[in-house]
Amino acid sequence: MDGQGEDASKVIHVKFVTKLDSPFKAPVTSVVIPSNVTRLGLSSIVNSLLTLEKHEAFDFLIDGELIRMSLEQFLLAKGISAERTLEIEYIRAVAPRKEEKPSLHDDWVSAVDGSSPRFVLTGCYDGLGRIWSSPGSCTHILEGHTGAISSIAFANSEGAEGVTVATASKDRTLRLFKVGTDESGDSTARVGAYKILRGHKASVTTVAAQKYGSKVCSGSWDCTINLWDTNESTSELSVPGKKRKGNNQAEESQLEGEADTTLIGHTQCVSSVVWPELDVIYSCSWDHSVRRWDVETGKDTLNLFSGKALNTVDVGGEGSALVAAGGSDPILRVWDPRKPGTSAPVFQFASHSSWISACKWHKSSWFHLLSASYDGKIMLWDLRTAWPLSIIDTHKDKVLCADWWKGDSVVSGGADSNLRVSTGISI
Amino acid sequence: MTKKKSQAANEDQTIETNKKSVSPALKPQKEKPVVAKQVKSSKEEEDLLLDSDSGADSDYDGDSLSGSLNSDDFDSDIFDSEDDASQRETEGGDGEASEDELHGHEGSDDDEVDSENGEEEDGSDDEGSEEREVAEESDSSEDEVAPRNTVGDVPLEWYKDEKHIGYDITGKKITKKEKQDKLDSFLATMDDSKNWRKIYDEYNDEEVELTKEESKLIRRMLKGEAPHADFDPYAPYVDWFKWDDAIHPLSSAPEPKRRFIPSKWEAKKVVKYVRAIRKGLIKFDKPEEEPNVYLLWGDDSTSDQKSKHLTYIPPPKLKLPGSVTYLFICFSSRIPFSEVFNLYNLAFPGHEESYNPSLEYIPTEEEIAAYELMFEEDRPKFIPKRFTSLRSIPAYENALKELFARCLDLYLCPRVRKKRINIDPESLKPKLPSRKDLRPYPNSCYLEYKGHTGAVTSLSPDCSGQWIASGSADGSVRIWEVETGRCLKVWQFKEPVKCVAWNPLPDFPILAVAMGQDLVILNTELGTDEEQQKIEELLRLGSLPELDESAAAIVSWHQDETFGGIKIRHFKNVSFVDWHPRGDYLSAVMSAGETRGVVIHQLSVHKTQRLPIKMRGLPVCTLFHPHHRGMFIIATKKNVRVFNLQKKELPIKKLETGLREISSMAIHPGGDNLIVGSKEGKMCWFDMDLSSKPYKTLKNHPKDITNVAFHRSYPLFASCSEDSTAYVFHGKVYSDLNENPLIVPLEILRGHSTSSSNRGVLDCKFHPRQPWLFTAGADSVIKLYCH
């Protein structure tokens, strides 16, 4: 960092600013730095300014763009003058700081849901759903499916005494489970479904629950999206979770449900659905389209065409309006349906080397999303740069599912039968 | 308003007329100009009334000018015409009176005019006003013209048979008026007293009533006078440029004398010429002599010959003209030697070419002998010789030879111009669309299905595209989930699997597997519960129906205990299985000749039929036509035959492949196009409606083609080969029968191991709904290529 005589001509006056809180707040002074420093150099400069006892990685923004090359190149590429004092904003680098112990399953982990901070749900090819309170500790096993579970979701994660979980399976059914949350102890409870939803004619691929509602929707290989009611239709058959726990063979006490509504429009397998608002469902399909459905009318109000078979879709970002979808090619695409007159993606992220199996927006950040791919990698993305923020490649095989958890962790499952949790991601 | 004024003026005029008419015959000789003036003045007045402040008189048309030229008040006419108006009106009054007289005169000439005149003479006072009104109307009508024909100066008979006579200025047709009956028109003419004034205007298809002025104009023209009355051919000469009494003449110098006396020099010159002519020095009109000799062998490529002929071919050029030729040229064209030498760009002869050169130029005996030994072309062209006098010079020895050669050249020269076309070889290439425009097509491998331990021999995707079944040489049949690459089910058999085929019905997920002598129908247990029940019922062999004797000799049906399916045992190894698109029949191919090579099983009744057809050669593969129920296509090693099973006759069609050994075959979903792969690496595309010969033969693979495949919905087809590659082609079949299928090679898919012991890629199949291709490698891996 010591300025050499020959570098004296290539120095830049910079000022580091941040929105971070006190331990990471650097004094606002102008600093002279050589122009050829990279992110690492900038990070070490900020660390030396902060005098932290522990080294902290930072990411740097100039005019809302992340620096991914040397400062000199960046300024040249963006055409920013180096004459004036440059204002560089720094944020904590988005990268997992810790890798939790993997939680081994009996078979491929096909689905994961981390929308509740209390639990992680996983669906497995052995037909069992699992609830994990923390990495390594499985509290419940959800059983009953005769085929592999393809998707799992919290139907109601806010319940006082228990949560409701919906699972979709390749045996053409969905099951709803009620799980008490006050379970304690080491033993793993086995839970049976309180309601079986039949109606799909082929494998169910995906399930999503209405936020603050009592409905779930599911997509299937029969090209339809079905909406189901999660309510126990009559009170006499509702059995509290505790009682049912010991009685999990009691199949006869299960309710059967039929689809409320069927949304027809896709011409091929519906591979993923999300239900971000009360009456709006987004779905993607192998017919290369992403559609937005109005639940009230059952019509699709938006149809984005991508050109590739899509495996996964998620809605989030700015105003919860950006649609991210990935599929049968290594490119993660982000559309902005609010943009009039065009259906071209606004962002394309192409660092994966195989199909994308999952993509999720961060719940609170406008910029961050993750994608999982069959190349065994999970990548964290920021809309402000085209390079991945960090790559999690702990999986040995295909990653089949991934999700954010607690806002600062990434949970993922894959063909290596492990649920992996990467924590300490500061956003 | 204008009318009122003009009427007022009329009243004035009539009063004045009354005054003046007392002495009508005072100025008979002034008749014409006066009349003209009268007309002019009425016109002019009107103009003044219309736009009195514009002073538009200055650009008034010619007749007013010509009229004004002979009038004395030329200036006032233009500049203060308003003041003059009254004055002229008095003159007009004069004219009026004399005009009547004129009518009276002419009445004797023309009968018709006579009757008319009688009337006119009665109300001669009103006549003036009426005339003005007419003039006024005719003027103003120019602004609101009725549709005028715009056809221009074309013969009107062009429109004789049309309903219209032409077009108005907006381009609309002007329709003809209906022709009146002749009698009616005659009666009309008889009734109408003004009929004599009416003229039919052919050009605008309307009747025009001539005004008095116009009739006068015509009359004048008939007489051969100037049409305008105010034109005076005998106007007094006005010498505008008289300068006699001008204050400043151009030059005041007196005329020089020389202007008035004849030139001496000219006289001398004339005398000189006259003498020269007398002496004959100057000759007139000597015809130019054409030279009767011309340069026969000259280079006339620049001559006017070219311009005379369209395709002029110049004579061949002289190769090496001998000296005789030069002499010839010199003598025949009477051109000096030096010019000929210049013409042919030759060097002048040196001393050695003289008839009597110095001794040092003469070669010695040895040199001549050496020349004789030399190669003919190396020999010097000219060997100096010595003659004592010019008389002793012999004739040129090669004269005849050279002349003959020249004549031959001329005689044999080509009479036709050869046209050499410069063709860019690139332009001869067929114009294929760019690959980018033909997307999507599979091009990159993202998924691999691993699990087999032997070469994967056969693939079959289920019709929804969710699963794919594969058979391997290790004896296992596996079902994979396409999306994730997970192996869902494994059946292990003892013999290597030759062929797997998924039932084409979506609600009937069963597999036909060929291995060894057996054909096994497997239940994949992927259907719904009801479907599952149906399948189980179907696969339960109850009491078997009696087979025909002929069939019983070949096949036997058994229940497969291990996997709960049906096992059909054949008398020979089964190599190929294909389902009928309806999912009930399936054909099995054995390596046996004649009628026993192909059998067709019916699953619903557990029956087997032999083909009623005799075949030459061993069958390789079979196909059911996708639409025609009874159409059945069998490929033997050399040929492809199309049969109709319902008619049980000779083949409908025989396709001559020209291939040595057919290995595989696939049919376009439209049913009219067929591709055949062969073991020499060639693939033939047959348009079965077009001909029995291949529409196109593609030679891409250096090694055997193992399989070919068509996509169900996308215009794609593929071939895979033992060279470990698969080729993807664009193959668009148009619904327009006139258009040939478009075949474009798109992509070479590599990826399978290419080690020499391997047999490359053994099978390829398209995903039924996506533009994806599965390839089964001998390296025990299945690959999925996506777009």
Asked whether the beta carbons of B482 and B444 are under 8 A apart, the reply is no
A 10 A CB-CB count for B481 gives: 18
Minimum Cα–Cα distance from B531: chain A residue: A201
Rounded-to-integer distance, Cα A373 and Cα A379, Å: 8
Tell which residue, B528, B282, B264, has the closest CA to residue A222.
B528
Mean pLDDT across the stretch B346-354?
A: 76
Residue in B437, B438, B446, B769 to test binding to A, most A beta-carbons within 10 Å: B446
| Residues paired with residue B557 on neighbouring β-strands, in sequence order | B568
Asked whether the beta carbons of A219 and A150 are under 8 A apart, the reply is no
Taking CB atoms and an 8 Å limit, are A415 and B486 in contact across chains?
Answer: yes
Residue B279: predicted pLDDT: 92
Contacts of A172 in chain B (CB under 8 A): 528
Note the Cα B187 to chain centre separation in Å: 61
Q: Write the CA distances from B688 to A176, A239, A240, B633, B736, integer angstroms.
A: 56, 68, 69, 11, 15
Kindly report, residue by residue over A8-38, the tens digit of the pLDDT: 457 788 888 887 777 777 777 788 888 778 8
Minimum Cα–Cα distance from B770: chain A residue: A309
Rounded-to-integer distance, Cα A20 and Cα B517, Å: 75
Strands B639-644, B653-656: pairing is antiparallel
Asked whether the beta carbons of B688 and B672 are under 8 A apart, the reply is yes
Instruction: Considering only the beta carbons, identify the residue of B484, B772, B787 that sits closest to A400.
Output: B484
- Residue B126: pLDDT over 50: no
pTM, two decimal places? 0.63
Residue A28: predicted pLDDT: 75
Residue B277: predicted pLDDT: 92
| A310 interfacial to chain B (CB closer than 8 Å) | no
Mean pLDDT across the stretch B240-267?
A: 80
Instruction: Considering only the beta carbons, identify the residue of A202, A307, A398 that sits closest to B484.
Output: A398
Taking CB atoms and an 8 Å limit, are B769 and A203 in contact across chains?
Answer: no
Instruction: Considering only the beta carbons, identify the residue of B465, B486, B787 that sits closest to A125.
Output: B486
Mean pLDDT across the stretch B753-764?
A: 78
The C-alpha of B580 sits at a distance from chain A's nearest C-alpha, in angstroms, of 24
- Residue B270: pLDDT over 90: yes
Kindly report, residue by residue over A112-142, the tens digit of the pLDDT: 988 888 888 888 888 888 888 888 788 888 8
Asked whether the beta carbons of B482 and A271 are under 8 A apart, the reply is no
The rounded percent of chain A whose pLDDT value lies above 90 is 0
Rounded to 5°, the CA angle A108-A114-A120 comes to 65
Taking CB atoms and an 8 Å limit, are A354 and B447 in contact across chains?
Answer: yes
Count chain A–chain B contacts defined by CB atoms under 8 A.
Answer: 50
Rounded-to-integer distance, Cα B12 and Cα B129, Å: 11
Kindly report, residue by residue over B271-323, the tens digit of the pLDDT: 999 999 999 888 887 777 777 776 665 555 555 555 566 667 777 776 655 55
The first and second tokens of residue B667, run together, are 């049919």
Residue B1: predicted pLDDT: 41
Instruction: Considering only the beta carbons, identify the residue of B464, B769, B786 that sits closest to A329.
Output: B786
Asked whether the beta carbons of A280 and A300 are under 8 A apart, the reply is no
User: b/e for B553-582, b at 16 or more Cβ within 10 A?
Assistant: ebbebeebeebebbbbebeebbbbbbbbbe
Rounded-to-integer distance, Cα B466 and Cα B463, Å: 8
Mean pLDDT across the stretch A362-368?
A: 85
Residue B423 DSSP label = -
Rounded-to-integer distance, Cα B213 and Cα B132, Å: 10
- Residue B79: pLDDT over 70: no
Taking CB atoms and an 8 Å limit, are A398 and B465 in contact across chains?
Answer: no
The first and second tokens of residue A152, run together, are 């799992």
Asked whether the beta carbons of A125 and A191 are under 8 A apart, the reply is no
Contacts of A309 in chain B (CB under 8 A): 770, 786
Taking CB atoms and an 8 Å limit, are A286 and B465 in contact across chains?
Answer: yes
- Residue B327: pLDDT over 70: no
Residue B401 DSSP label = H
Q: Which of A54-58, A60-64, A233-237 has the lowest mean pLDDT?
A: A233-237
The first and second tokens of residue B694, run together, are 């291949």
Residue B345: predicted pLDDT: 65
Q: Which of B449-458, B614-623, B753-762 has the lowest mean pLDDT?
A: B753-762
Mean pLDDT across the stretch A269-290?
A: 87
Kindly report, residue by residue over B131-158, the tens digit of the pLDDT: 444 444 444 444 445 557 788 888 888 8
Taking CB atoms and an 8 Å limit, are A201 and B787 in contact across chains?
Answer: no
Residue B14: predicted pLDDT: 42
The C-alpha of A329 sits at a distance from chain B's nearest C-alpha, in angstroms, of 8
Mean pLDDT across the stretch B446-467?
A: 87
More confident residue, B675 or B109: B675
Average pLDDT, chain A: 80
Taking CB atoms and an 8 Å limit, are B484 and A110 in contact across chains?
Answer: yes
| A154 interfacial to chain B (CB closer than 8 Å) | no
Taking CB atoms and an 8 Å limit, are A110 and B465 in contact across chains?
Answer: no
Taking CB atoms and an 8 Å limit, are A269 and B485 in contact across chains?
Answer: no
Taking CB atoms and an 8 Å limit, are A328 and B440 in contact across chains?
Answer: no
Q: Which of A177-181, B353-357, B743-747 has the lowest mean pLDDT?
A: A177-181
Instruction: Considering only the beta carbons, identify the residue of B486, B769, B786 that sits closest to A268.
Output: B769
Q: Write the CA distances from B101 to B28, B36, B213, B725, integer angstroms.
A: 10, 15, 15, 116
Residue A253: predicted pLDDT: 56
Residue B371: predicted pLDDT: 87
Residue B271: predicted pLDDT: 96
Contacts of A125 in chain B (CB under 8 A): 486
Contacts of B465 in chain A (CB under 8 A): 268-269, 286
B63 membership: H or E segment, kind and range: helix B62-70
ipTM of the complex: 0.84
Exposed, middle or buried: residue B66 (CB in 10 Å: 0-12, 13-18, 19+)?
middle
Residue B3: predicted pLDDT: 44
The C-alpha of A55 sits at a distance from chain B's nearest C-alpha, in angstroms, of 39
Instruction: Considering only the beta carbons, identify the residue of A202, A271, A355 that sits closest to B447.
Output: A355
- Residue A256: pLDDT over 80: no
The rounded percent of chain B whose pLDDT value lies above 90 is 3
Rounded-to-integer distance, Cα B84 and Cα B600, Å: 121
Average pLDDT, chain B: 74
Residue B285 DSSP label = -
Residues in B whose CB is inside 8 Å of some CB of A read: 440, 446-447, 464-466, 483-486, 528, 769-770, 772, 786-787
Taking CB atoms and an 8 Å limit, are B786 and A355 in contact across chains?
Answer: yes
Residue B66: predicted pLDDT: 40
- Residue B38: pLDDT over 70: no
